[in-house]
Each structure stands twice: as C-alpha cells, then as structure tokens.
Structure 1
Amino acid sequence: MQLEKQSILARPVVAALLASFCALLWGSAYPAIKLGYELFSVGADDTAAKMAFAGLRFALAGLLVFFVRFFQKGVKQSPRSLDRRQWGSIALLSLMQTTVHYYFFYVGVSYTTGAKSSILNASSVFFSAILAHFFYSNDKISTRKAVGILFGFLAVIMVNFESSLTLSVSLQGEGFVIIAALLHSMSSLYSKRMSKSIDPVLLTALQLFLGGSVLLGIALLQGASFPRSSLAGFGLLAYMAGLSAAAFSLWTKLLKYNRVSSITIFNFLIPVFGTLLSALVLGESVLRMQYLASLPLVAIGVILVTYSSSKAPV
C-alpha cells in the first residue's frame, strides 16, 4: 500500500487533472458516435452495423494501447506471465466492460440525443456508490451520499420529461443507456480489483482488444458487413479509437492508485462536456428546460456522493 501512495497518480491535483481529461474524451464520444453513424451509413435500426462499428473501434483501441505500451520504458508484465485464473478474469472484464456494455451504449445513443445520453450516463456515478457500499468497508453510504444518490436519480427522471410534462423513455434508447451506465460501474469496481495483480495498461489493452473483437465477430456473424466509409469516416474512427485507448488506460491506472469514489466524482463532467460538444458539433439544442435543470442536479449529486468519503483511506 505504501508503494501505491508514492505514485504521482495518487496526488490529488494530478488525479483530478487526468480524470477531468478522461471525462472530456468520453464526453466527445457522444457526438462522435452520432457523426460516425452518418459517415459509415449505419441505419437507425441496423443493430448489427452498430455493433460492427463499435467492435472495430475498440479492437483498434486495444491494438493502439499495445503499440504505445511497447515503447514504454521499464519492466512490463507479459501476457505469457498471466495464469489461467487471470485470463478468465480478463475475459469476463472484456465481455462486461466492452462487449456487452458498448452493445447497450451504442444502440441506446442511436435512439436518443447526444446531450440526453451524456446526462443519463452520469448515473454510473450513483450506481458506483451503491455497489461500493457492498464491496468496500471504507465506502459505505452515509446520509450525505444517500441524498446525493437521490439527486442523481431525480436528474435522470427530469431529463426525460417533455414540455407536456410526460415522460419520454424508450427501452432501446434511454433504457439501454442506463443499463450501459450500470455495467460501467460494475466494470470499474472489478477493474480496480484486477489491477492489483495485472499491469493496468496491459489490462486495458487486452480488455479493449478482446471485447472489441468479440463484438465485431458477433456483428459479422449476424450479417453486418465490415465497416466502410470515406477518409473522413476512418479519420473519425481513428480519433474514437485513440480516445478510448487514452481514457481507459488513464482511468484504469487512476483506479489502481485512488479510491473508486474519489475518481468517479469526475464522471459528472462527462454530461457537461457531452452536452456542450453535442451542441457545438451536432447543433443540438441544450437550452431545453429539462437539460438546464438536470445538469446542476447531476453535479450536486455526484459531489455529495463522493465528498463524505474523500478523506477515507484507499
């Protein structure tokens, strides 16, 4: 434990800056996915094509992490040194964090707006707080956390209200985005545990490549063609693979050296970045009353959820 605290990634300012950068990258994914569907001619109801697009992105991201890791200095853990139990854990994480998670995420985003998706996905913070209560003795739900969780889920309800005061929710749209948020929370807890015995960068590379490859393979078996596009489309795909490689590598390392809740607090920046970038890139309106009311609730909720345990040991 003493060695972990000496890492520069355990310094609050460094952790905050890097976690905020991850949030910016993930926030940019919402408009990028929407643009990607247009550039790769992915139909609104073509689930297999969406899976192929996502699978190719994450398989490329995994390869990119392997490439960057190859040039890193110092002793690096080899895939050959992993035992059967570790490979089984990596396979499970790959399916949960990449294959299944992004199946729900990519389908969900295609059936709702980028701004709404980014706000709904912030519910992962509150799922993390609930799950951490059962798995970590130093991360229990206090009264302050309970109020924060309530604020967060009020925001999820509010963002789905239309001007006619009726709820606008579909299982394949908003429902799938929330399921993806839950899977992301579960994956974060599992990834933190695995990073104690497996190099975080190696873990990131393997779970992205394996999970993406499975997703792409399933899509091709379902009849999807290999993703095709123009130079602009593949340029966007390269950016999306790069942001996944960078964000997941940094996030996995931050989870290793910091408490889960002290890092997941920065997830509240994802809907802020996602909403603003969706407006800037896609021209979506962010001046809708439910968006303006939901964003502050999300921010307050996340701060309340994580603030009470900010001084607890990792």
Structure 2
Amino acid sequence: MKKEFAELFAIYIIASVFLYFFAKLGVTYTNPATLMMIRYIISGIILFSISRKLIIDKNVLILAIFTTTSTIFWGYGLLYVSPAVSSVLSYTMPLFSMILAIFIINEKPNHYEIIGLIIGFLGLGIYGSTLFKGFTKIGMILTLINAVFWALFSIYYRKLSKYDPISLNATQFIIGSGFMGLIDIFSIRKGFYFIPSLKLLESIVYISTIGGAFQFLIWNYLLKLERVNKVTIFAYIIPVATTIIQALLYKSLPKLFEIIGLLIMISGVIIARLKG
C-alpha cells in the first residue's frame, strides 16, 4: 500500500468515524432537518469556492433528491440509535445498490455478488435482531431507508461520471439545503426545536467541514490513488472503528449478536466486492 494512500485513508477514517458522533450530538440540540440544512449550505459554499461553478440540470436535481432524502433519514434515524448502529446500518448501502442496479441500469450480479448479498443480509438480520424493538426499531428502519437512498445516489452518480465532481457536489449540496429548508417549514408546528449552545456549534463546524466538504475531497483524491473496489472495501473499517470508539467512549460493549452480525455483514460485502 502506498504511504500517501495509507496516510490519507487514515485521516478519512478518523473524519468519517467522528462524523457519526458529532451528528448525534447535533440532533440533541436541533431537529435533523435544520442541522443537515446548515451542513449542506456550508459544505456547498466550501466546494463552490473551489470549483467556482454550479451545474444545473435534470440529472443533478435527481441526484440532489436522492442525497437529501438519504441524509434526512440518516439524521432522523440518529434520534433513536447510537452512532455505532447508525454507521453499521448505513454501510449496508452496497447490498442495496447491488439489488437496485439490476432494475435501474440492468447490471446483472455474478455468482460472487449473489453469494455476498445473501451473506450480507444474513449478517444484517443477525445484527438487527437485537435492535428490532421500541424506539430503536424506528431508528433502524429510518437508517436502512437512508442506506437505500444512498445506494440510489451511488448508482445514479455513476451515470454522471463526466461531470466535474466538485462542481456537481457543490450544486447538489446547495439544492439539497433548499429541500431541507422546506422540510423545516413543515416541521415548525410539530417537532421543531433549536437550542443554541457551544455543543451545537461544535457539531455544525465538524459535520460541515471535516465531516463534510473536507471528507468529500479526500474521498475523491483516494479514488485517484487506488481502484474503487479497494477503497470501498477498506471503507468498511469505518463501522468497525465506530463500534470500537463507542465502546471506549461510553464504556458499553456491543452485544455478541451485534459483533457476529457486523462481521458476517462485512464479509458478505467483501466477497461481492473482491470478486465482483
């Protein structure tokens, strides 16, 4: 492994892991739509300051809808589940993308992908068996919907490979912030809350910069250094690391079934990605 790749990837992992903790912190002080709207505005401005260009067309609008929907469900899911659970469930995205790709871009899975898919969902079932109760069940469902829309975003993003990635994402972040604002308007009468505090400011700064625009720029640079499959597989360090960090911070060990389910789930994704 190249030294430059290893160093940058370590930074990316750290930025991504703590994104879940700072986002969880943020939704305790303001409703998810408000928090994510601010994140999108700041991230969009940062990326636009680099690209100096916005791309307005139907494809970008569709992409922005997928991204925004994914982010909204992720944010509301964080109201009910821990950062570790949110991370693990979010990273089921490749499992859903393999299924959706069959119908959207007529991409037929090979034998390894089918085996990986079955193993991955088996792991998800084991992991989720401990969560499917009470408010945690609501959070699990919301976060899995986030993973589905993240998968839709990933598939559609591939169709826009000729677009400049920084301009494309600057545009979708800015458009997405408008969608978030509309959701905020409808939530003013019910469920809206905003508690100004230093903790909220810390959350906004982190998820908009290190866990927002900066994270995106590193990811795109990593894709220039190594193959997409390799980078994607290594990214599965994130849910593992998030689970470990949460255990250390909260002094609460994950349940045995959660550990087994997580390992089986990641094994399924790796099988599908390595041989896909």
TM-score (norm: length of structure 1) = 0.74
1:269 maps to what in 2? 237
1:251-310 per-residue CA deviation (whole Å, 9 max, x = no partner) reads 4566689876454323422211221233344x162331122212211221121011113x
Contact 2:128/2:258 (8 A) holds in 1: no
1:52-110 per-residue CA deviation (whole Å, 9 max, x = no partner) reads 1121112211112223445xxxxxxx33xx5xxx522111111111x211111111121
How far apart, in 2, do the equivalents of 1:19 and 1:132 lie? 27
Match of 2:20 among 30, 35, 42: 30
Residues 1:244 and 2:212 aligned together:
yes
1:113/1:236 Cα in 2 relative to 1: closer, same or farther (>3 Å)?
A: closer
How far apart, in 2, do the equivalents of 1:250 and 1:191 lie? 17
Residues 1:160 and 2:128 aligned together:
yes
Report the AA paired with residue 66 of structure 2.
Answer: M
TM-fit CA distance, 1:136 = 6.3
How far apart, in 2, do the equivalents of 1:16 and 1:124 lie? 24
Q: Secondary structure at the match of 1:159?
A: helix
Match of 1:90 among 51, 60, 84: 60
Match of 2:169 among 204, 207, 216: 204
Contact 2:5/2:225 (8 A) holds in 1: no
Report the AA paired with residue 170 of structure 2.
Answer: A
1:286/1:16 Cα in 2 relative to 1: closer, same or farther (>3 Å)?
A: same
TM-fit CA distance, 1:231 = 2.9
1:58 maps to what in 2? 40
Counting matched residue pairs gives: 272
Residues 1:218 and 2:172 aligned together:
no
Match of 2:252 among 265, 270, 285: 285
Give the % identical residues.
25
TM-fit CA distance, 1:113 = 2.2
Q: Quick check: which has more Rg, 1 or 2?
A: 1
How far apart, in 2, do the equivalents of 1:259 and 1:274 lie? 24
Q: Which runs of 5+ in 1 are unaligned?
A: 1-10, 43-48, 71-77, 310-314
How far apart, in 2, do the equivalents of 1:257 and 1:20 lie? 14
TM-fit CA distance, 1:237 = 0.9
1:103/1:136 Cα in 2 relative to 1: closer, same or farther (>3 Å)?
A: closer
2:158 maps to what in 1? 192
Residues 1:294 and 2:261 aligned together:
yes
Q: Secondary structure at the match of 1:229?
A: coil
Q: Secondary structure at the match of 1:110?
A: coil
2:138 maps to what in 1? 172
Q: Which runs of 5+ in 2 are unaligned?
A: none
Matches within 5 A, 1:120-135: 120-133=89-102
Residues 1:115 and 2:67 aligned together:
no
**Larger deviation: 252-261 or 204-213?**
252-261
Contact 1:31/1:277 (8 A) holds in 2: no
TM-fit CA distance, 1:153 = 0.9
Report the AA paired with residue 187 of structure 2.
Answer: Q
Q: CA RMSD in A?
A: 3.1
TM-fit CA distance, 1:203 = 0.8
TM-fit CA distance, 1:233 = 2.1
TM-fit CA distance, 1:232 = 3.5
Contact 1:105/1:177 (8 A) holds in 2: yes
How far apart, in 1, do the equivalents of 2:41 and 2:3 lie? 32
Contact 2:124/2:262 (8 A) holds in 1: no
